[in-house]
Amino acid sequence: MRIVTGFELAKTVLSRRARGDEGPDEREATVREIIGEVRSKRDAALYHYTEKFDGIKLTSLQVNKEKIAAAYQKTDEQVVSAINLAAERIRSYHATQKNILLHDSVKSGVGWLVRPLERVGIHVPGFTSPLPSSLLMTVIPARVAGVGEIILVTPPQKSGEVAPVTLVAADIAGVDRIFSIGGAHAIAALAFGTETIPSVDKIIGPGNAFVTLAKKLLFGVVGIDALQGPSEVLIIADDTANIEYCAADLLAQAEHPSGSAVLVTTSMELADKIVRETEAQLKNLPRPETATESLEKNGIVAVVASVDEAIELANLYAPEHLLLMVDKANTYIEKVRNAGCIVTGKKGTIALGDYVTGPSHVLPTGGTARFASPLSILDFIKLTSVSNIEDSILKKIGPAARTLAKAEGLDAHAKAVEKRLKS
């Protein structure tokens, strides 16, 4: 991990994270071809690409209820219990969010209606390793928001079947239909629909670069949540921070491919200790290769003069995860302007939020926390504005509308208002 000292140097180093369009991606041509094939050949293209990319020759796309029921017998009881606990907490958090945020308002003449989306598609990776946590974190907010139908696409594993733990999580979360495909071709299927898979209103969920490109290219044909990038954490630590905890959370992010692990501290001595502890813990990981690569490429330790300077760096960096390992951490929360999530508490860790805390772990990455928010029930609803124009309102605002319409040269607009004013 690279150590930098001073606010200005740290600001320069952290600002080097790429933003915006870096030019054409050579993979884009491949994704465009996949999208075109799925749009024209539909199910046939899905069978073809699943065999080509995953090495699996499917005989059916949809997972039947018998396989879902059998999945419980193949999944450890402790895992099922953990999924139920996580689901309960995620559901409770988003139900509270719904009660606070979502209400029709049409009483005052001008207001809005809140309506859930009719059908959404959830993409959950799973060829190499199942990700039941990502499934819970995307499906449950949709279910709480009242989405009419939830379609899950997730790739089969080498066995040719969707992982049992994924099927159990899907059943507990409330998925309506499951299809054993993943990747860019699955995104195209959700956008256009095929003989078997229905088209959806919005596509939610993470994936590899090909999935992200497919979502980007199909935005407008279908809604998307975001273009997720590599996972990242920024930890702010002072002399009260637990060195082992800091190192463990840096590694937890670094074990994601291309993950960014950033530590900002007020103490050079602490910085040295945490770097050494991170290296020691790294040696004890059973699969250290990914974390090692991430730390070498994206591991940064910055030493600054104060916690306030560290907070300012965090606001400039706009991290996906912000972990405050400082004395009286809660007193600094109001100063944070840009972060996907904030974790405090002596035993706080990002890993809890990845699984069971409650808020969705689908968060803005790559600095997009400057303008974006975590996945929530708001991603699964739409607002319709409502205007009930009575005589009293017309008399108050009609003349101004007529004046503005004439100023814009839109005579028919002006006359539409005039006719009502005259009557």
> Is residue 362 one of the residues assigned to a domain?
yes
Instruction: Indicate if the pLDDT at residue 134 is higher than 90.
Output: yes
Whether residues 166 and 72 fall in one domain: yes
Mark whether 342 and 393 lie in a shared domain. Answer: no
Q: Which residues are catalytic?
A: 320-321
- How buried is 380 (Cβ within 10 angstroms: 0-12 exposed, 13-18 middle, 19+ buried)? buried
| Residue 229 pLDDT grade (very low, low, confident, very high; cuts 50, 70, 90) | confident
Answer yes or no: do 49 and 8 share one domain: no
Per-residue pLDDT averaged across 98-127, rounded?
86
383 falls within a domain: no
Q: Per-residue pLDDT averaged across 70-79, rounded?
A: 97
Residue 173 has pLDDT above 90, yes or no: yes
Residues 11 and 133 in one domain: no
Same domain (yes/no): 182, 260? no
Cβ-count burial 337-364 (b if 16+ within 10 Å, e if not): ebbbbbbbeeebbbbebbbbbbbbbbbb
Residue 401 has pLDDT above 70, yes or no: yes
- Are 299 and 418 in a shared domain? no
Q: Is residue 376 part of a domain?
A: no
Strand-pair partners of 262? 234, 300
- Reduced DSSP (H G I as helix, E B as strand, rest coil) percent helix, strand, coil of the chain, to 5: 50, 15, 35
The domain spanning residue 172 has which CATH number?
3.40.50.1980
Domain that holds residue 319: 2-20+229-370
In the block, tokens 């041509």 appear at 29
Number of domains in the chain: 3
Q: Does residue 79 fall inside a structural domain?
A: yes
Domain-located, residue 33: no
Q: What is the rounded CA–CA span in Å between residue 234 and residue 204?
A: 25
| Mean pLDDT, residues 33-46 | 97
Per-residue pLDDT tens over the stretch 257-283: 888 999 999 999 999 999 999 999 999
Q: What is the pLDDT of residues 233-255, one digit of tens each?
A: 999 999 999 999 999 999 999 99
CA distances from 348 to 97, 170, 353 (A): 22, 28, 9
Residue 57 shares a structural domain with residue 205:
yes
Task: State whether 81 and 95 are in the same domain.
Answer: yes
In the Cβ-directed half-sphere of 301, how many Cα atoms lie within 13 Å? 23
Instruction: Write the pLDDT tens digit of every residue in 294-353.
Output: 999 999 999 999 999 999 999 999 999 999 999 999 999 999 999 999 999 989 999 999
Residue 37, pLDDT score: 97
For residues 277 and 196, membership in a common domain is answered with no
